[in-house]
Amino acid sequence: MSTRWLIVTADDFGRSDGVNRGVASAYEYGIVTSASLMVRWPAAERAAALARELPRLSVGLHFDLGEWTYRDGTWVQAYAVVDENDPKQIAAEGRRQLALFRDLLDREPTHLDSHQHVHREEPVYSCLVLLANELGVPLRHFTPQVEYRGDFHGQTAQGEPLDATPTVEGLASVLRSLSRGTSELGCHPAEDVDFETAYGSERLVELDVLRSSEIRDVLAAEEISLLSFGELRAD
């Protein structure tokens, strides 16, 4: 009997059509079990349509307040939705994005997380904790029974390339190191890089790795069972 379970979550679902196709492909032909939807973007409606065609794909809310990139030794804000230091604006935006999610999918999210993990700090933390408690769903980083693993990523925190990680060998090493119990692996697959992003070509590499037969072999050899957030809630 397996003692390790793995949720594989594709972030940025709805950001673009290229991401949408990548998420769907990584689910149908790879190991992705869940996706986190960015509801503000024009491709979100098409992501929702894809999700309806893939009813076993768990879909959560990827709370989006903005994006930062690291350029020339400093962090530069690419866009901002609200003032990230204003609790009232954040709370209102959280409710607005949750309402958009419900309108798009006609169901509740199976989990909550945030773009660039901004909910790890206040005041976003309190907003998402409140929403997660109301919905009764896991919140990334703050659900004790699920250990988050973000080390399948092609860049450092400063946006510098990491050659070892977004490869079959790199992901295999991550899988072999999983603790007993349930882990969540974050990923960012895309079939095309059709939007401006500092994390671009790495998305294409991630998709290939997530669909590779070698990774399936590692899961079998390590007796790691795939799980979705929807199945976790059912348990």
- pLDDT above 70: percentage of residues in the chain: 93
Mean predicted confidence (pLDDT) in 23-33: 98
- Which residues, in sequence order, are CB contacts of 106 under 8 Å at separation 6+? none
Closest CA relative to residue 57, chosen from 26, 30, 35, 29: 35
223: number of Cβ within 10 Å: 10
Mean predicted confidence (pLDDT) in 128-148: 97
Give residue 152's pLDDT band: very low, low, confident or very high (50, 70, 90). Answer: confident
Helices 201-210 and 17-28 cross at an angle (nearest 10°) of: 20
**157 vs 206: which has the higher pLDDT:** 206
CA–CA dist 131, 179 (Å, integer): 28
Q: Is the dihedral of CA 153, 135, 137, 102 positive or negative?
A: negative
Instruction: Kindly state the helix (H) or strand (E) to which residue 28 belongs, with its residue range.
Output: helix 17-28
> 3-class DSSP state for residue 68?
strand
Computed over every residue of the chain, the mean pLDDT equals: 92
CA–CA dist 38, 71 (Å, integer): 24
* DSSP letters spanning 120-137: GSTTHHHHHHHHHHHHT-
Partners of 224 in beta bridges:
4
pLDDT in tens, 154-183: 555 555 655 556 899 999 999 999 999 999
| pTM score, whole prediction | 0.93
Residue ranges of alpha helices (H) inside 54-200 are: 87-105, 124-135, 168-176
CA–CA dist 8, 10 (Å, integer): 7
Instruction: Kindly state the helix (H) or strand (E) to which residue 36 belongs, with its residue range.
Output: strand 34-37
Give me the pLDDT at residue 163, please. 57
DSSP symbol at 43: T
**Residue 35 confidence (pLDDT) above 60:** yes
Mean predicted confidence (pLDDT) in 53-60: 96
pLDDT in tens, 110-127: 999 999 999 999 999 999
Catalogue all structural domains in the chain, each as residue range(s) with its CATH number: 4-234 (3.20.20.370)
Give me the pLDDT at residue 61, please. 98
**234 vs 134: which has the higher pLDDT:** 134
Q: What does the radius of gyration of the chain's CA atoms come to, in whole angstroms?
A: 17
CA–CA dist 23, 184 (Å, integer): 16
pLDDT in tens, 77-116: 889 999 989 999 999 999 999 999 999 999 999 999 999 9
